Amino acid sequence: MACTTVLVGKKATNDNSTLIARTDDGFYEVKKLVVVSPEKQPKKYKSVISKVEIDLPDDPLGYTCCPNVDLSHGIWGATGINTANVGITATETITTNPRVLAADPLVTLQKAKTKKEKDVPGGIGEEDIVSIVLPYIKTAREGVIRLASLLEKYGTYECNGIAFNDENEIWWLETIGGHHWIAKRVPDEACVIMPNRFGTDDFDFDDALGEKKAHMCSADMLDFIKENGLDCNTGKRSDLRDIFGSHSDSDHCYNTPRAWFMGRYLTPYSHKWDGEHAEFTPESDNIPWCLVPDRKITVEDVKYMLSSHYQGTPYDPYTSHNTGVRGTYRSIGINRTGDTSICQIRGDQPEALKGVEWICFGSTTFSTMIPLYTSVSKIPSYFSDVKPDVSTENFYWASRLIGALADPNYGTCVQFIERYHAKTVAEGRRLILEYDRKMKESNDYTLCEECNEKIAKMAKEQTALAMNSILRDASVHMKNGYNRADN
């Protein structure tokens, strides 16, 4: 999955919450947001893709997730928050290099070659991770520990990065080959920007193999690096990207430009991103994994970055004039996104109110982001009752329709998109604030579902209004239009 991830530590946000966010850029999968109750969690998990079977613990927590509607290729839970108020986003596909894959090959399904033989299962992957990890963890750190144990036992058939957050910490784990891994705690004052590359740069192995305060890794990691000649650092610096990462030409049109745009947005004053003497360009390999932003970061900032098409730069594919480089780089907001979520854990709220999941379906450039409480037994039908066929009766398909109609008419439709986003986010925030106060005053935290239903009603009404305006504009600009003054 060609995704983009943003992580924001609690001291970097405007309200001291932790934020983990990702665009799930698949192949137009139809998605929905649901709650999985403990009794619906299986005792044995079987992967559709790799056929691996995993026995699961007996005491799962309830959790939200964003699975595929068509389960023929697996669940692909993507994101969620459990009842212990721990969030996950899984996964960001990352790059590596042939040296790593030779030293620790990926664990892929081995199909039987004859009728007498049996398939040899592969490892775990993006299809599986939310389902086999999120129900069994009570902190972000526990998320790293559980996933790491599964990677070491079963291996993985792909290279991925996974984020976990609770009210205090955010952890980022990256897989190394088939069985190895590293993990790093996001500094509280920092933001992480991840665009489909191996991301972690500086890393403290003494901490990872000792106290594990802010770093963790496979127990044999240093031996693994040395025995396989993986370290390409010169001694002047130590950067994990020069050990485990890639430096390909495709990175420079597909990956690094996204980090450049997000870094440029986060630190416009403390770093120079444009011009002849820029510290970083869209093709720089050394854009930092994390940055301390020049101001506090909000949910709206995260949504803006994940909706980017390089607006305000010559690379914007929607610019009205030919800059010579228009559309050169892969945008962050793209057409094939299935879902985008921001898992927000609010440490200053009572337990029942800590988790808020902001959900967006379809291309983030055009779709809006809606907040929902996660301490609930069900998600409103507008987000959860999604079928494979197109319908304006649910948020997924309505969002996809808005994007498809507005994209070819960007110049005339952007005003409707901006108003739609501003209205829905403001009203969603207003309702969350109203019910935060109401539930704390009454000590009745069962009203989370009532609030979610009101938010769903608002989202449906505003989405319909936006679609009306965008459809009319798209109709006016159809190529078969013809005007003639008949009297």
pLDDT in tens, 407-439: 999 999 999 999 999 999 999 999 999 999 999
3 flagged as catalytic: yes
The two structure tokens encoding residue 24: 């799930």
Residue 483's pLDDT is 78
pTM score? 0.97
Looking at per-residue pLDDT, the higher value among 190 and 247 belongs to 190
- 42-47-51-54 Cα dihedral, nearest 10 degrees: -40
Q: Express each pLDDT in 285-302 by its tens digit.
A: 999 999 999 999 999 999
The pLDDT tens digits of the residues spanning 156-170 come to: 999 999 999 999 999
What local confidence, expressed as pLDDT, does residue 453 receive?
98
What does DSSP assign to residue 253?
H
- State what percent of residues in the chain have pLDDT above 90: 95
**Strand ranges across the sheet with 355-361:** 290-291, 191-194, 4-8, 18-25, 337-345, 355-361, 370-373
Higher pLDDT, 145 or 1: 145
CATH class of residue range 4-365: alpha beta
Q: How large is the average pLDDT for residues 223-241?
A: 89
- Residue 261, judged by CB atoms within 10 A of its CB (0-12, 13-18, 19+), counts as buried
- Nearest-CA neighbor of 199 among 285, 85, 266, 305? 285
Mean pLDDT of the chain, nearest integer? 96
Residue 237 in this model has a pLDDT that exceeds 80? no
- The single residue of 3, 290, 343, 451 carrying the catalytic annotation is 3
CB 398 within 8 A of CB 467: yes
| Confidence grade of residue 484 (pLDDT, cut at 50, 70, 90) | confident
